[in-house]
Each structure stands twice: as structure tokens, then as C-alpha cells.
A = this chain, B = another copy of it.
Amino acid sequence: MGDTANHLDVASLDAHWRAANYLSCGQIYLMGNPLLSEPLSPEHIKPRLLGHWGTTPGLNLVYTHLNRLIRERDQDTLCVWGPGHGGPAILAGSWLEGSYTEFYPDVTRDRSGMERFFRQFSFPGGVPSHAAPDVPGSIHEGGELGYSLAHAYGAALDNPQLLVACVIGDGEAETGPLAASWHGNKFLDPVHDGAVLPILHLNGYKIANPTVLARLPEAELDQLLRGYGHEPLYVTGDVDDPHAVHHKLATALDSAADRVREIQHRARVGRVAGRPRWPMIVLRTPKGWTGPAEADGKPVEDTWRSHQVPLAEVRENHDHLLRLEAWLRSYRPGELFDEAGRPRPQVLRYVPDGARRLGATPHANGGIRLRELPVPSLERYGVQVDKPGASSHAPTRVLGSLLADLMAATADRRDFRLVGPDETASNRLDAVYETTGKAWQEQTLATDEHLNRDGRVMEVLSEHLCQGWLEGYLLTGRHGLFSSYEAFAHIVASMASQHIKWLKSADELRWRRPVASLNYLLTSHVWRQDHNGFSHQDPGFVDHVFNKSPDYVRVYLPPDANTLLAVTEHVLGTRNLVNVVVAGKQPCFDWMPLEDARRHCARGVGVWPWAGTDDGHRVPDAVLACAGDVPTQETLAAAALLRRHLPDLAVRVVNVVDLARLLPADQHPHGMTDTDYDALFTRDRPVIFAYHGYPWLVHRLTYRRTGHDNLHVRGYQEEGSTTTPFDMVVRNNLDRYRLAMDVVDRVPGLAVHAADLRQHLADVRGRHHEWIRQHGTDLPEVAEWAWPG
């Protein structure tokens, strides 16, 4: 500690901090006169003042001090800025260190560049006010609060040399996902993973209220953070003596870095037992520090009033204008920038070089580091299918073997992770434990299985953590798969939305390289929630995803094991997408051999001629379409019923794997032309579509098609309980008898011709109700049904 103090060039640190504060304030307010070379006047002020000052000086302080830490230790470092809405700070740090100009050459590190830099912030056609993808060094936008620490852990995994600093705002700390994220240290391996250094920024206030953590008694806060498994180091900034903070923060950062190094060293030479107690920093500084002490007779600095724009009427109110000028000049810009607007050497004294700069780290542009994933050849896992429906397999179990070998193939590279909320085994993917374990740094007991320190399966009962970890992992250039109960994917709907927004914005920048897609495997789905029932039934995550930018979303519903393999192989090779794969974990019929499955999945939709009774050329009397494993089974059973009872009826069976195929070609990259659509579904024949999820989604995808008026969709309609699989489809009118009746009802003339059949179907259906109430099982003819091919 004495070492830090003795060598510290506080003046340089302070110069950098003041420069960053100056640049931040400038971004919020100025569109001219960037160096204050003349008195400030209203025309220098932006007409709309948008941004967040309150958190910014604290973020600037951290940037300044991380620079020193990185430079003095040549420490590979990424920083996740939780209060991403303090965008001006991260932008200022990047501009000062020069990385900004490297990515945006027209924003030069001089007077004219500074003016452009100021003007573009929160300005139409300029840059957003958050730490969006535009911001060098950022992997975390910070608009929707709660995910910074999970992102930080995700970034640290399998990056043993990396230090991930993570600034956590005390507002964000009140969110659920953040509160859960503290336990990430129970899953971080000090040998194979990097370190996470949480910096809890007790800024004191959120938008309009004090924060819970900032007002805890100090002893209670200390207990809480130790309870989270950390060794907290406290740094408090004095509102009246900002300068004094530098020694404290530099010392704390050095102590933390020393402690991290020591933990890692001990673990890596094998001298460790149990989980280490990682350091963290509690940085207590006034909100809006160094900004205006008051305005309009009310205190501003160190209150919530500095959250956004502390002086709101600078253009109209001369007193505000004077206060702004005084505020800007309080940083003494003349000492910080030369006449040409270039930062003076003292400001840059501690700025690191090249890729060590926070804005230039390749970890924050993960596509640079991304390697192709060595997905094993599917032939080893594909199930043999001599004829459709003659055997059955649990699709996810078959996939498990592929994932096990993928884990083996990446054992040295360590760039693939499987995450899930305590459901890997429940979702039948437990074959992966043959080649890797579950990450776990806590105590283990003799009865435990597959837990180990360096496992690459991440299991925690929090969808938020699974998603956050995986996002952090992917954005830093690695690969992964998130397996979840289908219904509970909704828990992370908003996170998925934010990730898709990130991908879209990032993709629009030239310098951001594509990252691996975020792949969801949604299983334990709506139709087979045998142990749970109604609360576990919600297939609507795909509806949510389809509202997002079509260039970044894909949805697949493989109907059996081989198609699940083919789809998984595909999605693991894609970039910059969110892929949602919905598949069953219960045994289901094998419909097609692997090669057929591959072709079918590549087309995304196709006629299954062996299942229908049309001759493949003439226009059929009706189309039975299906998407999803259970709907496919019910559709084929309906087709079999119709074939038996109405052999002359020409029924075409169409299976849809890639749901976006239903969209018009101009609406989605995978969309189908009307010609192709009409060739499959016809322009005028009744189409009975058995869909896995909410039926309206299919209408929303197809409403522009000529044949849409003839489309009749069956799907989940929020009817369910703890009951049998067949009762579930009956309750929602998705069962084989209902589908066959739908055909009878909709093919012109058939209702009369096949009245007996219709009655028969209704009778069997009716018998089901009585039977299950008596026996608790499905009708024998349903339970034992097999495709009669």
C-alpha cells in the first residue's frame, strides 16, 4: 500500500479525471466553442439537452484509475460499465486514449474532433446516450439495468489472464438479476477463468430516490458483501476535496489486483482448498460530483437532482449559462488541452498503449477472437431410420451425445459453454457430463455427481444469470447454448430483446466483428409438462422474438431427433443471431434419416409425401401442416385416420421446421416467395395447421398469403393442468381426432359424405374424457399408436 502512495502521480490522475469530466459535460451541453476559447453563449448550447451527468464523474474516476492499473501492471483488462447511461464517461475515456479516433477517424483528437465529439452525443444522427455498441470497449449497453455483473462473469470465464472490472451502480444493485449475480463467484474457477473485480459505486441516488445500499448502516453493508463472499475495500470521495480520492482509490485498486494475483497464483500452482474470497471495491462518491452544487436555490451535487442534466435551461436562463461556464472552467481546460485541443501529456501520463487501452481491448470486440466451433460430424449421433415412425428417441437425449463430444473437442480451447437453470439433466442432456462437469467452487459431498471446479456446464437456478453469463461469454468471442424449460424463457424475454438490439446496432458498425449466435434450446415444453402443469405452459417466447428485427432472429421447431441434430449443427455455425430451437425431451417417433433431416431443415419446410395421400403433383383436397414435435405426431395420426377412412381424399402433409419460412420473402431473410408458399400450401385449399405454440403467431406470419383465408390454425390456447399428454392436446383442440374433423369440416362436400367418420372421431374423442378420469392414462389406441407405415 505504501508502495502505491509513494509512486503515485496524483496530479496526472487528477488531470485525466478533470479532462474526462470536462469532455463529459461538453458532450451533454455543447455544440460549439469546445475549448471555451470565447465566453459561452446560447448558440454554443445544444437545443435539446439529453444525457445523464449524475453517474458520470464516478465512472470517469474509475476509467482514470483503471488506466493506471493497466499501465503499471500491463494487465489485460475489460471494464463492464453497469451505469451504461453514463455514456459520456466511457466515450470521454475512449477519446482521450485515442481509441475513439481509431474507430471513428473523423472524430479527431483535436479541437475540431472535440467539437464533433460534443455535438454528436445524443444528437439526431449522432451517437446514443448509452454505452451502446458504438462505444469502443463496451460489451454492455446498460439501458436495462441488472446485467452488468453477470456480463462480467461471462466475460471472465475461460479467459485466465483477463481482469474484468465491473462498475455496479447502486440503483442497478436493487434489481433482481444483479442481486443474484453476486453469487457468480461460486462458479468462477481461479485456474481456468479470469477474475472479476466488482466496483460497487455508491452514488447515493437513483432517478429520484436514495438507493437501498447507499443508506444501509456501514456494518450491515459490510456483512452483506462478505456474505456474498467478497473482501470489500472501501473508498470514499469527499465532496469538498475531490483530489483526496486518488490516493485511496489507487491504493485500493493495487490491493485488489495484488489479491487477485495471489489467489490465482495459489490456485494455479495447486495450493488452494475451497473457494477464494475475492476482493471488491466499494466506491462511495457524491452523485454529480464536481458538478454544480446547486441550481434554482436547490442542492444539486450529491442529490438525485444531478441524475440527468443538472442545469436544464442553459439556453434560456442566463444564470444557468453562467453556472455552466463556471462548471466547465472549474476543470481548468487550458491545463488539460493545448491550443489545438489535443490532450496535454500530463493528462495521458497513465493511459495504456495499444490493445491494453479499455476502448481498444479485443475482448470487447469478440468477433476478432472468435474461432469456428469444431462441431463433430452428425453421422455419429444420427439415429437410424429405416422407415418413418418405426422407432422413437428422445431428441434432446440424442443431442446430448453430440454436445458431449463437442465439449471434448473444445476441452483445450475452452470456448464453448452450456448454461441452464438446473435443468441439464432434466432436459436429458446429461451425456455432457461424460466429458465435462458442472462448474462449482463450493464444498462438495461424497454423494455429489459431476461437480468440479473447471466444468463447462453452468447450472444455477436463475435464467437471468444463465442468460447474462452467456451474453458476456459470446460478446467476448466464444460459443454457447442455453437450454431452458420453454415456459421460463419468458423470464429473460427482456434480456433477449436487449441482446437482439445490441446485435442490430453492432452489425450496423463497420468495426464490430460478428459474434457467435445466442442459441436457445427450449425443451420441457408446453405439451409435456407432466409433473408441473399450467404454470409451466407458455410457448410464447418465440412470439416475443418475432417482434424483433428479422435480420437477427430465427426460430426452429425440429420434429424429431435427427432434425434436432441438423438444426443444432446449423445454429452453432451462425453469427450475430438469436436462434430459438424448440424441441422435446420425451421419446418421440423418428421420422426421417439424418440426410433427409438435413435437407428438410435446410429447406426449412417441406412436403412429407410418405405421410400424405396426394400424389405430390395434383392439388390436394386439403393440407395438414404442422410445426413442433407433438403437433407433428398428432398431424400424422390424423393423416393416418384420414387415409384409413377416406382413402380417396388427397391430403398433403407439410412440416415446418424453420418458422420464419412462413413469412414473405421481403419480411425476413428466410421468408418464402408467394410462389413457393402457394406451391406448398396451395392458394385455395383448406390448410389445417397444427402449431406448437399460440395459434395467432401463424396468422401473424402468413396474413399476406393468398390462401390465408383458408388457413385454420390449432395451437395452445392457455388450457392445461397436471394431466396426461393426450389430454393436453385435447384440451387445446390440437388432437388427431380434432384435426381430422377439421379436414372433414372444411373440405367442400365432405361433411355430408363423411358424416359417419366425423361422428366416429367425435365419439373416440368423447371416450377419452371418461377414460382418463377413470384410468389416469390415455386411451390405449392413443398411448400405443404408431405410424402405420
Give every chain B residue within 8 A of A772 (Cβ-Cβ). Answer: 124-125
Give every chain B residue within 8 A of A697 (Cβ-Cβ). Answer: 700
A552 to chain B, nearest CB (A): 9
Candidates B176, B206, B447, B703; contact of A299 at CB < 8 Å: B447
Is A210 a contact of B451 with CB atoms below 8 Å?
Answer: yes
1/0 per residue A198-211: CB within 8 Å of B?
00000000111111
Give every chain B residue within 8 A of A221 (Cβ-Cβ). Answer: 227
1/0 per residue A459-495: CB within 8 Å of B?
1111011000000000000000000000110110110
Q: Number of A residues contacting the other chain (C-beta, 8 Å)? A: 125
Candidates B123, B224, B422, B504; contact of A224 at CB < 8 Å: B224
Is A777 a contact of B48 with CB atoms below 8 Å?
Answer: yes
Asked if A248 lies at the interface with its beta carbon under 8 angstroms from chain B, I say no
Asked if A362 lies at the interface with its beta carbon under 8 angstroms from chain B, I say no
Asked if A175 lies at the interface with its beta carbon under 8 angstroms from chain B, I say yes
Asked if A501 lies at the interface with its beta carbon under 8 angstroms from chain B, I say yes
Give every chain B residue within 8 A of A425 (Cβ-Cβ). Answer: 207-208
Binds B, one of A95-103, A539-547, A562-570: A539-547
Is B538 a contact of A497 with CB atoms below 8 Å?
Answer: yes
- Bound CA–CA A499/B124 (angstroms): 40
Give every chain B residue within 8 A of A548 (Cβ-Cβ). Answer: 718
Give every chain B residue within 8 A of A462 (Cβ-Cβ). Answer: 174-176
Give every chain B residue within 8 A of A543 (Cβ-Cβ). Answer: 543-544, 547
A386 to chain B, nearest CB (A): 30
A230 to chain B, nearest CB (A): 10
Asked if A183 lies at the interface with its beta carbon under 8 angstroms from chain B, I say yes
Given the contacts A462-B175, A535-B143, A776-B123, A209 and B422 also touching, CB distance less than 8 Å: yes
Q: Which residue of B lies closest to A221 (CB)?
A: B227
- Bound CA–CA A772/B120 (angstroms): 12
Asked if A303 lies at the interface with its beta carbon under 8 angstroms from chain B, I say yes
Is A490 a contact of B501 with CB atoms below 8 Å?
Answer: no
Is B176 a contact of A426 with CB atoms below 8 Å?
Answer: no
Given the contacts A207-B423, A543-B543, A535 and B703 also touching, CB distance less than 8 Å: no
Given the contacts A128-B721, A531-B308, A534-B501, A488 and B144 also touching, CB distance less than 8 Å: yes
Is B490 a contact of A533 with CB atoms below 8 Å?
Answer: no
Give every chain B residue within 8 A of A141 (Cβ-Cβ). Answer: 535
Candidates B50, B207, B228, B440; contact of A422 at CB < 8 Å: B207
A176 to chain B, nearest CB (A): 3
Is A130 a contact of B535 with CB atoms below 8 Å?
Answer: yes
- Bound CA–CA A717/B174 (angstroms): 31
Asked if A339 lies at the interface with its beta carbon under 8 angstroms from chain B, I say no
Asked if A396 lies at the interface with its beta carbon under 8 angstroms from chain B, I say no
1/0 per residue A651-673: CB within 8 Å of B?
00000000000000000000000
Candidates B126, B303, B424, B700; contact of A696 at CB < 8 Å: B700
- Bound CA–CA A216/B230 (angstroms): 13
Asked if A646 lies at the interface with its beta carbon under 8 angstroms from chain B, I say no
Complex interface residues of chain A between 736 and 776 (CB less than 8 A to chain B): 772-773, 775-776
Given the contacts A129-B722, A703-B708, A216 and B442 also touching, CB distance less than 8 Å: yes
A586 to chain B, nearest CB (A): 13
- Bound CA–CA A448/B223 (angstroms): 26
Asked if A337 lies at the interface with its beta carbon under 8 angstroms from chain B, I say no
Give every chain B residue within 8 A of A279 (Cβ-Cβ). Answer: none
1/0 per residue A510-536: CB within 8 Å of B?
000000000000000000001111111
Asked if A629 lies at the interface with its beta carbon under 8 angstroms from chain B, I say no
- Bound CA–CA A112/B697 (angstroms): 47
Asked if A220 lies at the interface with its beta carbon under 8 angstroms from chain B, I say yes
Is A176 a contact of B464 with CB atoms below 8 Å?
Answer: yes
1/0 per residue A269-281: CB within 8 Å of B?
0000000000000
Q: Which residue of B lies closest to A182 (CB)?
A: B179
Given the contacts A176-B177, A530-B50, A718-B501, A536 and B143 also touching, CB distance less than 8 Å: yes
A125 to chain B, nearest CB (A): 4
- A-B CB proximity, top 6 nearest: A224-B227, A143-B535, A176-B176, A179-B179, A490-B494, A223-B227
Q: Would you mind naming 20 contact pairs between A and B with Cβ atoms under 8 Å apart? A: A48-B776, A85-B531, A124-B727, A125-B773, A130-B533, A132-B533, A143-B532, A143-B533, A143-B536, A144-B491, A174-B462, A176-B179, A208-B423, A210-B444, A224-B227, A227-B228, A488-B494, A490-B497, A498-B535, A543-B547
